[in-house]
Amino acid sequence: MKKPEAAFFSRVLMMGNEAAAEGAIRAGCQCYFGYPITPQNELTAYMAKHMPERGRVFIQAESEVAAISMVFGASVAGARAMTSSSSPGISLKQEGISYMAGCQLPAVIINVQRGGPGLGSIDPSQGDYFQATKGGGHGDYHIIVLAPASAQEMHDMTMQAFILADQYRIPVMILADGRVGQMMEPVRLYEDSPPPAPPKPWALTGAKGRPPQYIRSLFMEERALEKHNYELQACYRQITATEIKAEETETGDCEWLIAAWGTCARISKGVVQKARAQGIKAGLVRPITLWPFPHERLARLARRSQVKALLVVEMNCGQMLEDVRLAVNGAAPVRFSGYPGGRVPTETDVLNALIELTKTNHHGKVEQPAV
């Protein structure tokens, strides 16, 4: 992925939502289709302003279902296409996402999560981890899920998402939260020279000079759908082999390992410093790709002899927790500190949970989520 030395603007103060939008534009996003929903409205508004200015396509769709279907169409035509929404709207896109996965269509989908379930609230949340990583839609499929923790990463990851999407012909989701989306921070913007898209011989552009072709996810011939599924799984294995990303902080000698993503990872980073100041050897592992999940990395860390226990911190009731437990597989106790319903924990909240953890007697038994 192209990360130019000299960024176009050195620093711009931007909302995460805007940084993502600008990232998409600089990634060469040709078509954006969205529908208003808080807390991602700035993203849609940004695209409304800047896409037409550049002669690109912006449509405020009539619904999230229509928006994902337009993305489907633009992707079918070979264009770099994106949509964004927040939790309830993302639920409405699940059928479409399953179709795109089935049709192997690249696209970028941004979910700036809010509190749920239902209408919930407009506060930040991480309640859609399961939906994003296990497949909220029907059937066996995966999409790549990236979890930004800052406005800068909203920018960077959105650009990266387009590249990954095209490379693997797969939808890529940016799983942000209201905090990351709404927060303004200085952002270094990429050069405005979109990374070239790979050739898309599969795209439907008219059958000129080649046989006609089609894009489908319906496979009625005998065992054709089974075969198609194995092909998809092969693609998923390849992504898993090459694209996993995670970040570690102070894990070298850590006894207490925090696992957190997105905003919670950022907060936990502060907590690690505070804990160490108190003599608690804390460390942090932050999955950046939620799917594929860094199972092996987690397993390796958890198996280290000095690691006494893990603490999973999420703004939900325990979702990534399951992936951590699957990775750790009984090698160390895993505890959970969760903040559902739109609550963003403070450093003190997490630090207290960590201190409590250090006081608990651990005999290798994995705790169930305590929420």
Q: Using CB under 8 A, which residues numbered 73 to 92 contact other proteins?
A: 73-79, 81, 88
Report the site for a copy of itself in 114-153 (rule: CB under 8 A): 115-123, 125, 127-128, 130-131, 134-141
> Using the rule CB under 8 A, which residue among 58, 99, 256, 261 binds a copy of itself?
99
Residue with tokens 């009984």: 330
Which is nearest to 177 in space by CA: 369, 371, 370, 345? 345
Q: What is the DSSP letter of 138?
A: S
**Which residues, in sequence order, are bridge partners of residue 287?**
246
Task: Determine the Cα–Cα distance for residues 283 and 247; give it in Å rounded to an integer.
Answer: 11
Which is nearest to 46 in space by CA: 16, 71, 88, 10? 16
Under the criterion CB under 6 A, does residue 88 sit at the interface with ligand TPP?
yes
> How many residues belong to the chain?
371
> Using an 8 Å Cβ cutoff, are 238 and 168 in contact?
yes
Under the criterion CB under 8 A, does residue 94 sit at the interface with other proteins?
no
Task: Determine the Cα–Cα distance for residues 245 and 261; give it in Å rounded to an integer.
Answer: 12
Under the criterion CB under 8 A, does residue 317 sit at the interface with a copy of itself?
yes
Residue 45 contact, options a copy of itself, ligand TPP, other proteins, none, Cβ 5-8 Å cut-off depending on partner type: other proteins
Task: Determine the Cα–Cα distance for residues 89 and 106; give it in Å rounded to an integer.
Answer: 20
Under the criterion CB under 8 A, does residue 220 sit at the interface with a copy of itself?
yes
**Which residues, in sequence order, are bridge partners of residue 175?**
111
119 or 234: CB nearest ligand TPP: 119
Under the criterion CB under 6 A, does residue 109 sit at the interface with ligand TPP?
no
Q: Six-digit token pair at 294?
A: 């860094």
Smallest gap from residue 333 Cβ to other proteins (A): 25
Interacting residues with a copy of itself (CB under 8 A): 65, 87-88, 90-92, 94-95, 98-103, 113, 115-123, 125, 127-128, 130-131, 134-141, 216-220, 223-230, 232-233, 316-317, 319, 322, 325-326, 329-331, 339-343, 366, 371
Binding site for ligand TPP (CB under 6 A): 35-37, 64, 88-89, 92
